[in-house]
Amino acid sequence: MVKTVSTVKFYDAHNHLQDEWLLPHMDRIAADLTDAGIAGAVVNGTTPDDWAQVSALATRFAWVVPSYGVHPWDCGNRPADWLGRLESRLASEPRAHVGEIGLDRWILDRAKPDDPRLAGLRRAPLDEQIEVFTAQLALAAADNRAASIHCIDAWGALFDTLRASTLPARGFLLHAYAGPVEMIKPFADLGAYFSFNGSYLDSKRENQRHAFKSVPADRLLVETDAPAMPLPPSLERHTLPRSPSDTRMNHPANIEAVYTGLAQFLGLPRAQLCQLIESNFHRLFSEQK
């Protein structure tokens, strides 16, 4: 049988292909991504412990764009030498970006004490998160690398921090944007791009979905955050076994279904959305500085 090769190109602005839950399935995942037409995926490290794995994937797959950072959930457990390690990692990888970094008040105010995703993590207070975030933002700005930013329940603090900081000239990504619709313009004026996550196709997430109607066309991106943030089961085209802690895992090749769902929601032909995302992805994450 002759396999049809996809001519459509998809770009995942934010995922975690290095996640230990995905690694046992990597050969199959890579084949599915190639069949789907993956042309670029920003793979985000979250702690010094997973940066080598991100780097290995970037060596193995030409479409992997490596990104390194300390995630706000991992901030409280960072090793003492984390910043020096990040500086040397970035110095040795000129095409790498900075992320996933950010601010998260949900872990402090709303997350359950026994949430399995936070097991074993010390939940760093917001002041400490801001200190770690701004140090990483400064590294991104110094070399004009894109910063990929996570934010939950801390939109005011994030805006104030960004406004007071030197930012990368090429801009930064607010991944899986779930902030207020009124803040989209002020963030865009600072240089923000906004990535639409497939979980927002769920009928219960109308607020998040609706906000994307206000995102400027030249700042829109699409992401999976795989293996996190799965799509509604009816829209998934690729599945994986459940994780060891029995949560549903998101297969990164579902990026195609995210494009399809977003194109329908925005009332755009999918091919037109593909062109738009391709040029936005290259503008934010290309090697030219």
Q: Which residues bind Zn ion (CB under 5 A)?
A: 100, 225
Nearer to Zn ion, 44 or 161 (CB): 44
Per the CB < 8 A criterion, the answer to whether 29 and 251 are in contact is yes
Retrieve residue 143's tokens.
């070399």
Per the CB < 8 A criterion, the answer to whether 154 and 128 are in contact is no
DSSP letter (8 states) at residue 81: T
Nearer to Zn ion, 117 or 289 (CB): 117
Nearer to Zn ion, 74 or 100 (CB): 100
Dihedral sign for Cα 189, 193, 199, 203, please: positive
CB of 46 to Zn ion, least distance (A): 7
User: Three-state SS for 194?
Assistant: strand
The separation between CA 45 and the C-alpha centre of its own chain, rounded to angstroms, equals 10
Nearer to Zn ion, 12 or 100 (CB): 100
CB of 17 to Zn ion, least distance (A): 11
Cα(279)–Cα(273) distance, rounded to whole angstroms?
A: 10
Beta strands in 51-166 (DSSP E): 64-68, 97-104, 147-152
Nearer to Zn ion, 84 or 116 (CB): 116
CB of 175 to Zn ion, least distance (A): 6
CB of 275 to Zn ion, least distance (A): 26
CB of 14 to Zn ion, least distance (A): 6
Nearer to Zn ion, 225 or 256 (CB): 225
**Sequence-distant (≥ 6) Cβ neighbours of residue 262 within 8 angstroms:** 196, 201, 212, 222, 273
Task: Tell me whether strands 172-174 and 192-197 are parallel, antiparallel or unpaired.
Answer: parallel
User: Three-state SS for 224?
Assistant: coil
CB of 5 to Zn ion, least distance (A): 29
DSSP letter (8 states) at residue 267: T
CB of 7 to Zn ion, least distance (A): 29
Tell me which residue of 264, 14, 36, 1 sits closest to 151, measured CA to CA. Answer: 14
Retrieve residue 23's tokens.
């690694």
Nearer to Zn ion, 35 or 202 (CB): 202
